[in-house]
Amino acid sequence: MPYLYNTPEDQEAMLAAIGVQSIEELFEPIPGELKLARPLALPPALSELELDQHLAELASKNTHAGQAVCFLGGGSYDHHIPAVVDAIGGRSEFYTSYTPYQAEASQGNLQAMFEYQSLICRLTGMEVSNSSLYDGASSTAEAVLMAISSSRRTGNVVVPSNLHPEYRQTIATYLKNLGVELVTLPCPAGVIDADELASVVNDQTAAVVLQQPNFFGCVEDAEAVAKTASEAGALLISVFDPISLGILKRPGDYGANIAVAEGQSLGTPMHYGGPVLGIMACDEKLVRRMPGRIVGETTDRRGNRCFVLTLQTREQHIRRDKATSNVCSNQALFAVRASVYLSQLGPQGLKETANLCLQKSHYLADQLCQHERFSLAFTASTFKEFVIRDAEGQVDELVKTALDAGYMAGVPLGAWYPELNDCLLVAVTEKRTKAEMDGLVAALSGKHSDESTPTLAVS
């Protein structure tokens, strides 16, 4: 971003244009007690070289996934990103296009968004996809609002406790002033109990939210949940893991009405949780309640194939209280990256990636459970994540010990689930090798040696 400055002459011209003599006169309406009567307490200005060194020093205090073997998950994953994703996503026509929601957006950008929508529809088995939202949490909350407005039910929305806790917080924020009750269904076994779900769903339930696989990595009986929601006349919102659809049923195949996801795993680095990509697809009958923008295909007056913004419920174009969208520049960029990623892998590549995640995560879980200190917290089938319980309840110490040995062991669950404060959420992607998994087992079981510390290239 360029550095823009105003000379005294520029300031004088601007003040003259608005009809005041000085900055003090411009700020005269502000009460004196609200004005700062001293200079800002800022440190001395740094040169560009000094500033670069200072920022590098601050950044070095963090350990990132390029400096340790990463088993972190819980919504952001260390998946492999093919080089072609960076090559195409880094092209200036995509990388620098600012918030392409305008009607005059270039045909290249519009086609890229159209291709993204087509890929998401094929991936999810749904009829319509928008051209992305901000992140998985906001996509889920927007889906809840869609369900409420389309069903015209304002009684309650049911979410299981195994839905990502930060997604539940986002939904609660969206619903805070709408008078809709947010019912949280306990899941002590890690997955949804069909009978318990049926007991809280009624004819005033607008939506049931299902995460598949759920936050604990467990695979849900999605058909049973969909059946319960459908029988009550409620919409089913599926929060899916895009990679899992290489081997699991698509949301559209088990009856989801709205499918949403965090798209970070499709070609976006982890970079501390953001910016990321919110995916949303739905039944065609819900399309007019969909937030964001939809790009359509048409022909121009010469009969040439072209693309156009078809629907967009953005606040600049309609009454603010009717707006639903949050369209940002990063959404288009990461939608392009997701399109390149999916195109590069294809259905077979996605299946192979999902299978590697499945097999490797099960190998690591089995190896950890060989040690008497560790056991699985839940018995349900898992995909690429699992919850491991430490019999000694020293999760924080385990994480520190593992990090000292070069491993990011997982995400402690106690902050969100006090009853699981002796548990760790471990994720295994296709990138992890057998040596790395064996190394983590050794580190957590106290058998690690300095010779086995992994060596990684710093990225």
Taking only Cα atoms into account, the Rg of the chain, rounded to an integer number of angstroms, comes to 25
Mean pLDDT of 336-359: 97
Listed range (38-47, 198-207, 242-251, 400-409) with the worst mean pLDDT: 38-47
More confident residue, 364 or 104: 364
Helix (H) / strand (E) containing 236: strand 235-240
Mean pLDDT of 412-431: 97
| Residue 397 reports pLDDT greater than 70 | yes
| Residue 273 reports pLDDT greater than 70 | no
| Residue 457 reports pLDDT greater than 60 | no
Whether 383 contacts 217, CB under 8 Å: yes
| Residue 346 reports pLDDT greater than 70 | yes
pLDDT category of residue 448 using cuts at 50, 70 and 90: low
Whether 307 contacts 298, CB under 8 Å: yes
State phi, psi for 378 to the nearest 5 degrees.
Answer: -130, 150
- What contacts 24+ positions apart, CB below 8 Å, involve 166-171? 166/75, 166/137, 167/136, 167/137, 167/140, 167/141, 167/211, 167/239, 169/137, 170/137, 170/138, 170/140, 170/141, 171/140, 171/141, 171/144, 171/209
pTM of the model: 0.87
| Residue 1 reports pLDDT greater than 60 | no
| Residue 383 reports pLDDT greater than 90 | yes
pLDDT of residue 377: 97
What six digits make up the tokens of 255?
Answer: 């009856």
Mean pLDDT of 264-281: 89
| Residue 2 reports pLDDT greater than 60 | no
More confident residue, 431 or 59: 431
pLDDT of residue 46: 93
- Of all residues in the chain, what percent carry a pLDDT higher than 70? 91
pLDDT category of residue 65 using cuts at 50, 70 and 90: confident
pLDDT of residue 292: 84
Query: What is d(CA 131, CA 116) in angstroms, rounded to the nearest whole number?
Result: 7
Query: What is d(CA 411, CA 47) in angstroms, rounded to the nearest whole number?
Result: 39
pLDDT digits (tens, 9 = 90+) for 175-211: 999 999 999 999 999 999 999 999 999 999 999 999 9
pLDDT digits (tens, 9 = 90+) for 158-177: 999 999 999 999 999 999 99
- Of all residues in the chain, what percent carry a pLDDT higher than 90? 77
pLDDT of residue 328: 66
pLDDT of residue 227: 96
pLDDT digits (tens, 9 = 90+) for 8-20: 999 999 999 999 9
User: Mean of the per-residue pLDDT values for the chain?
Assistant: 91
Residue with tokens 């008078």: 179
pLDDT of residue 311: 82
Asked whether the CA dihedral 242, 228, 164, 145 is positive or negative, the reply is: positive
Query: What is d(CA 312, CA 325) in angstroms, rounded to the nearest whole number?
Result: 8
Mean pLDDT of 225-237: 97
Mean pLDDT of 381-387: 98
pLDDT category of residue 319 using cuts at 50, 70 and 90: low
Question: Crossing angle, helix 136-151 and helix 165-175, to 10 degrees?
Answer: 40
pLDDT category of residue 327 using cuts at 50, 70 and 90: low
Enumerate the β-bridge partners of residue 382: 218
Burial class (CB in 10 A: 0-12, 13-18, 19+), 57: exposed
DSSP state of 69: E
| Residue 33 reports pLDDT greater than 60 | yes
Mean pLDDT of 31-40: 91
pLDDT of residue 452: 61
